[in-house]
Amino acid sequence: MGEKKKLVLVGNGMAGVRTIEHVLKLTPDAYEITVFGAEPYPNYNRIMLSSVLAGGSDMKDIVINDWGWYEENRIKLYTGDAVVKIDAGKRKVVSKSGVTAEYDALILATGSNPFILPLPGADKEGVIGFRDIKDCNLMMEASKKYKKAAVIGGGLLGLEAARGLLHLGMDVSVVHLNAYLMERQLDEPAAKMLQRELEAQGMQFLMEKQTAGIRGNRRVTGLDFADGTSLEADLVVMAVGIKPNVELAKASGLNVNRGIVVDDYLETSVPGIYAVGECAEHRGIAYGLVAPLYEQGSVLAKRLAGVETAGYAGSVTSTKLKVSGVDVFSAGYFMESPETRSLKIQDELDGTYKKIVLQGDRLVGAVLFGDTSDGTSLFSLIKSREPVAGKEKELLLGFPAGSSGASSPAAKLAAMANDEIICGCNGVSKGAIIDAIHDGCNTVGAIKACTKASGSCGGCKPLVEGLLELYGDGSVGEPVKEGICGCTSLSRDEIVESIKAMSLKNVKEVMNVLDWREPEGCSKCRPALNYYLGMLWPAEYRDEKESRFANERFHANIQKDGTYSVVPRIYGGVTSPGDLKRIAAVAEKYDVPMVKFTGGQRIDLLGVKKEDLPKVWEELDMPSGHAYGKALRTVKTCVGSTFCRFGTQDSISMGIRMEKAFERLNTPGKVKLAVSGCPRNCAEATIKDFGVIAIDGGWELHVGGNGGVKVRATDLLCTVKTEDEVMEWSAAFLQYYREQASWNERTAQWIERVGLDSIKAVLNNAEERRALAGRIDEALAGTTDPWKEIIHNEELRKNFEPLSSAQPVNG
């Protein structure tokens, strides 16, 4: 083999690195590859930055190719070092730090920059774009000090930024020049439905507002509008569009319009120099969505590898909004014109809207809101330009499952071309997923590990599952065994047994020893491992806060507007005038907007600001009710024999005794208890995880109830005579549940899975029952209320994690 050619990539983003990935697959040994990136990070998924802001992902979750990938592929990588000069005559580039690299082929993938409106005051501190990790960090830092955010631009990027800022606890107003949102992707009816949904989440909108200037001295304090009105703001995010980053190309003499002009093979006006991604302009269009950029990369890679290929002919685009709780899809040319006709269906009750646009006998555009399940099929028809005459009603009303032709979900998937993109976030095609299945990846988790499909926003998971059903039969090898998540094939029992057998004592050690596919784990396995380790080694294991869910780390429940719900513990639902006065004083001092009695006989302070949480807990000076935790939540009681003429036992004192005994107990799922003073069951003990009902001369003990989405009545465990027996049996039951249930499995699910008889067989053994009760005492020994530790430890309080920029495992 002759000497390798030199390939240089300027820009370490999604489009450029995807091109390099294709080149390596087509001709792994043809090029010596050098990559320059302006940011100090490996290749990451820029379109998932909104998920990082919204708490659904951590920074490490959005890395597409980590540092090891560059090493494995012998790629020379320079990060934080932008190229500043191209010498086309000598075929070399020079970086900011002075690094020189020669090339035979040069790819410019310099991306784009956020467009900052040239307004008076636009250079003030607190005015930013939303384009990269640095912008994310600035928003997260600002949310700790400031409360009012304004997002200029009600397009796709602006709404994603606004939802992320809401999650960070800021008061967010979206300023938009047009009469309705996302006018480039949605028609007016869908946009109005979207606005109502986002308003319900806490977002505020100022429509048809033109910003005239930005107020403030050094830092922004507000916006002034052309109509004479104004808005207070401590942070301004401009999301009014992007502009291709063409400065390097222009300075190097390349032909530049809005973007770097390229031909159908992505070559610029200078031979040997190519451009791909948002910086490139093809046939007058510069694309800003990921799928066209990946299509460009595929054509360019084949060109560089010497593989015959048709040129890039442009792309029909589709859009999905990545905002929690909102499903929006649009594709093609969806606005009416004299040459088109449209069909629409709108259901205000279910909050769904669907519009298809036809030109002649072909589908040319679609808008979906609320139910986007037909989006992929419609987009496929738009791109294929297949005649749809006679099928218009079917397209509008949906593809009925089981009908003939391409109407069933399986048939639609089978009819897709292999180059159809299934995972838009990571640019994974149907063909790539089929290849992975035939290589032995027979679970969603395995396909995610092999191809990255479903590894970002998760929206394509149903399609991946459908492809598995179609192509993952016995002919493609033994299925990969499903574990507790996609990071491992091990079950809960196998993991717990391995931890015990090998005396593994921390999460990282478990993942390393047990060969986790993902070395950092995920939001499913990390909390589970944290729980199993704490359950097995109560005296030794130090709880790993970073592996807990967001609410548990904040010690409060986050609400839809980014504020928090604080619930102090009220034992058995019994309080005192002193405690009520303290709660009222705190609520008044910190302007708590709502004080509500909960269904569990407690008081909930709703709308507490994040920065007020430590002081609120300190001044309440009451234990946490763990309303956020997988732990004992409440012990509901009726007044029993203390006051009620029907009461046969003192249910209040029994309930308080149980709550004080088991508070702070970590469990696989949340646990609710109740004690009723007579069979009238006013405390609803028969829909609780553990219910106690007083009868003449004793107590009935009930287990496995659930009053939630799937209501389940309890099963009778046994009848006992004394309060001490109630305590022993309840302790034994709860500990057995702790030791045997899977993470996130409620008692109702656990009992249905293992059967009540198997639980009775263990607890009826007096020796085993007492041993279980002893182990629960060991688990509780030394535990303290989480806020006590913070209040009395200045260093811990200063570094309290929920008030830092660390992101939750699961928002």
**Per-residue buried b or exposed e for 42-62, using 16+ beta carbons within 10 Å of the residue's own CB:** bbbbbbbbbbbbbbbbbbebb
Q: Which helix (H) or strand (E) holds 506?
A: none
Phi, psi of 525 (to 5 degrees): -85, -30
- The answer to whether the Cα torsion of 182, 184, 190, 191 is positive or negative is positive
Are 447 and 463 in contact by the 8 Å Cβ rule? The answer is: no
Q: Which helix (H) or strand (E) holds 144?
A: helix 133-145
User: pLDDT class for 178, splitting at 50, 70, 90?
Assistant: very high
Average pLDDT over residues 702-717: 90
Q: Which residue, 531, 547, 563, sits at the end of a domain?
A: 547
Distance separating alpha carbons of residues 712 and 706, to the nearest angstrom: 5
Query: Do 636 and 731 fall into the same domain?
Result: yes
Query: Do 233 and 255 fall into the same domain?
Result: no
Phi, psi of 234 (to 5 degrees): -100, -15
Which residues constitute the domain of residue 500?
492-547
Q: In this predicted model, which residue has the larger pLDDT, 395 or 691?
A: 691
Are 504 and 478 in contact by the 8 Å Cβ rule? The answer is: no
Are 137 and 805 in contact by the 8 Å Cβ rule? The answer is: yes
Phi, psi of 42 (to 5 degrees): -70, 180
Residue 809, pLDDT > 60, answer no
Indicate the length of the chain as a whole number: 811
Distance separating alpha carbons of residues 344 and 756, to the nearest angstrom: 53
Q: What is the pLDDT of residue 479?
A: 43
Q: What's 652's domain CATH number?
A: 3.30.413.10
Residue 635 falls inside a structural domain: yes
In the chain, the N- to C-terminal Cα span, in Å, equals 52
User: pLDDT class for 751, splitting at 50, 70, 90?
Assistant: very high
Q: What is the pLDDT of residue 275?
A: 97
Query: Do 771 and 639 fall into the same domain?
Result: yes
Please, which residues bridge with residue 256 across strands?
260
342 contacts: CB under 8 Å, gap ≥ 6: 336, 355, 356, 357, 358
Query: Do 188 and 58 fall into the same domain?
Result: no
Closest CA to 739 of 717, 703, 771: 771
- The answer to whether the Cα torsion of 118, 120, 121, 127 is positive or negative is negative
Query: Do 644 and 779 fall into the same domain?
Result: yes
Residue 505, pLDDT > 50, answer yes
Distance separating alpha carbons of residues 808 and 811, to the nearest angstrom: 6
Q: Give ∠ CA 605-606-608 in degrees, rounded to 5.
A: 90
Query: Do 687 and 756 fall into the same domain?
Result: yes
> Among residues of the chain, what percentage have pLDDT more than 90?
53
Lowest mean pLDDT, pick from 138-152, 352-366, 410-424: 410-424
Q: What is the pLDDT of residue 387?
A: 92
Residue 496 falls inside a structural domain: yes
Query: Do 766 and 746 fall into the same domain?
Result: yes
Q: In this predicted model, which residue has the larger pLDDT, 417 or 695?
A: 695
Residue 352 falls inside a structural domain: no
Query: Do 159 and 132 fall into the same domain?
Result: yes
Query: Do 676 and 766 fall into the same domain?
Result: yes
Q: How many domains does the chain have?
A: 4
Q: What is the pLDDT of residue 426?
A: 67
Q: In this predicted model, which residue has the larger pLDDT, 338 or 547?
A: 338
- How far CA 612 is from CA of 308, 409, 556, in Å, comes to 63, 50, 11
Dihedral-angle region of residue 36 (phi above 0 means left; psi in -120 to 50 means alpha; beta otherwise): beta
599 contacts: CB under 8 Å, gap ≥ 6: none
Side chain identity, residue 277: G
- Using only C-alpha atoms, the chain has a radius of gyration, in whole angstroms, of 30
Average pLDDT over residues 411-433: 75
pLDDT digit string, tens, across residues 112-137: 998 899 999 999 999 999 988 889 88
Provide the 10 A C-beta neighbour count for residue 435: 15
pLDDT digit string, tens, across residues 334-353: 888 889 999 999 887 778 89
Q: Which residue, 271, 305, 339, sits at the end of a domain?
A: 305
Average pLDDT over residues 8-24: 95
Closest CA to 436 of 454, 416, 411, 462: 454
Secondary structure percentages of the chain, helix, strand, coil, to 5: 35, 25, 40
122 by Cβ neighbours in 10 Å (0-12 / 13-18 / 19+) ranks as: middle
User: pLDDT class for 800, splitting at 50, 70, 90?
Assistant: very low
Q: What is the pLDDT of residue 810?
A: 35
User: pLDDT class for 455, splitting at 50, 70, 90?
Assistant: low
Residue 803, pLDDT > 50, answer no
Side chain identity, residue 518: E
Are 45 and 423 in contact by the 8 Å Cβ rule? The answer is: no
Quickly tell me which residue has 């939303």 as its tokens.
130
Distance separating alpha carbons of residues 809 and 794, to the nearest angstrom: 25
Average pLDDT over residues 511-537: 85
> Among residues of the chain, what percentage have pLDDT more than 70?
90
Residue 517 falls inside a structural domain: yes
pLDDT digit string, tens, across residues 386-421: 898 888 888 888 754 333 334 456 666 777 777 777
Query: Do 260 and 227 fall into the same domain?
Result: no
Using the 8-state DSSP alphabet, how is residue 710 labeled?
A: S
Output 260-267 pairs: Cβ under 8 A, ≥24 positions apart.
260/108, 263/311, 264/299, 264/311, 264/312, 264/313, 265/299, 265/300, 265/303, 265/311, 265/312, 266/296, 266/299, 266/300, 266/303, 266/312, 267/303
577 contacts: CB under 8 Å, gap ≥ 6: none
Query: Do 638 and 779 fall into the same domain?
Result: yes
The winner for highest mean pLDDT among 165-169, 228-232, 479-483 is 228-232
Distance separating alpha carbons of residues 25 and 305, to the nearest angstrom: 9
Quickly tell me which residue has 């190309």 as its tokens.
249
Phi, psi of 498 (to 5 degrees): -65, -40
Closest CA to 146 of 168, 114, 119: 168
Q: Which residue, 221, 240, 259, sits at the end of a domain?
A: 240
Are 734 and 717 in contact by the 8 Å Cβ rule? The answer is: no
Using a cut of 0.75, tell me whether the model's pTM lies above it: no
Average pLDDT over residues 786-794: 60
Residue 750 falls inside a structural domain: yes
Strands 76-78 and 100-102: unpaired
Residue 610, pLDDT > 50, answer yes
Q: In this predicted model, which residue has the larger pLDDT, 645 or 95?
A: 95
Q: Give CA torsion, residues 466, 467, 471, 476, to 10 deg.
A: -110
| Mean model confidence pLDDT for the chain | 86
User: pLDDT class for 273, splitting at 50, 70, 90?
Assistant: very high
Strands 220-225 and 31-36: unpaired
Residue 526, pLDDT > 80, answer yes
- The answer to whether the Cα torsion of 769, 773, 779, 785 is positive or negative is positive
Distance separating alpha carbons of residues 702 and 760, to the nearest angstrom: 12
Q: What is the pLDDT of residue 218?
A: 93
Strands 362-369 and 328-332: antiparallel
Q: What is the pLDDT of residue 326?
A: 76
Lowest mean pLDDT, pick from 13-17, 218-222, 504-508, 558-562: 558-562
Closest CA to 616 of 660, 572, 555, 549: 555
Quickly tell me which residue has 């043809």 as its tokens.
30
Q: What is the pLDDT of residue 284?
A: 94
Residue 402 falls inside a structural domain: no
Largest CA distance in the chain: 99
The encoded tokens of residue 105 equal 């082929």
Lowest mean pLDDT, pick from 15-24, 328-337, 695-704: 328-337
Query: Do 144 and 70 fall into the same domain?
Result: no
Distance separating alpha carbons of residues 88 and 748, to the nearest angstrom: 70
Residue 281 falls inside a structural domain: yes
Strands 698-703 and 690-695: antiparallel
Residue 359 falls inside a structural domain: no
Residue 747, pLDDT > 50, answer yes
Q: Where do runs of H (alpha helix) occur along 472-576?
A: 492-502, 507-513, 525-536, 550-554
Q: What's 294's domain CATH number?
A: 3.50.50.60
Distance separating alpha carbons of residues 626 and 724, to the nearest angstrom: 25
